[in-house]
Amino acid sequence: MSDLKPVFGALRSVMAPYGSRLAVKRDTGDEYYVESANAASNGKPEFFGAVQIKKGYVSYHLMPVYTHPELLDGLSSGLKARMQGKSCFNFKGIDPALFDELSTLTKRGYAVFEAQR
């Protein structure tokens, strides 16, 4: 698991700017969880995204791509290959090009997330 710490740190740095704009629910050595600061219509905060160390990889969850799949249009085949499910990307190592693309996707996701609130 310790070899995944640098991957977690790099992905956490992609998600961290949105933690300061929203609300950080958890920030531990193996999980960074971000949600809306205000309650949604169901009375609970809305999940925005998270970075988590799993058994053999680090997962990057970005909920706006689940609710707005058009955000995935134009995604590189490299980043698509990292997708697990509809809103999760898994990494075992640091890939600067894919992390830059993920950063751009997260920025676009945040814009959609804020516009719908």
pLDDT tens figures, 45-70: 999 999 999 999 999 999 999 999 99
Q: How far is CA 42 from the centre of its chain?
A: 22
Tokens (6 digits) for 16: 């961290």
* Cα(44)–Cα(32) distance, integer angstroms: 18
Q: Note down the domain range covering 39.
A: 2-115
Q: Does position 38 have pLDDT exceeding 90, yes or no? A: no
Length of the chain, in residues: 117
| Helices 96-115/5-19 angle, 10° precision | 30
With contact defined as beta carbons under 8 Å apart, do 32 and 53 qualify?
A: no
> For 80-107, what is each residue's pLDDT tens digit?
999 999 999 999 999 999 999 999 999 9
Local structure of residue 39 (DSSP, 8 states): E
Q: Does position 27 have pLDDT exceeding 80, yes or no? A: yes
pLDDT at residue number 2: 65
pLDDT at residue number 87: 96
CA atoms within 13 A on the CB side of 73: 4
Note the helical H segments in 20-95. Answer: 64-67, 77-80
Q: Does position 37 have pLDDT exceeding 90, yes or no? A: no
Side chain identity at residue 17, one-letter code:
P
Q: Does position 1 have pLDDT exceeding 70, yes or no? A: no
* Cα(79)–Cα(77) distance, integer angstroms: 6
Tokens (6 digits) for 113: 């997330």
Local structure of residue 107 (DSSP, 8 states): H
Q: How many domains does the structure of the chain reveal?
A: 1
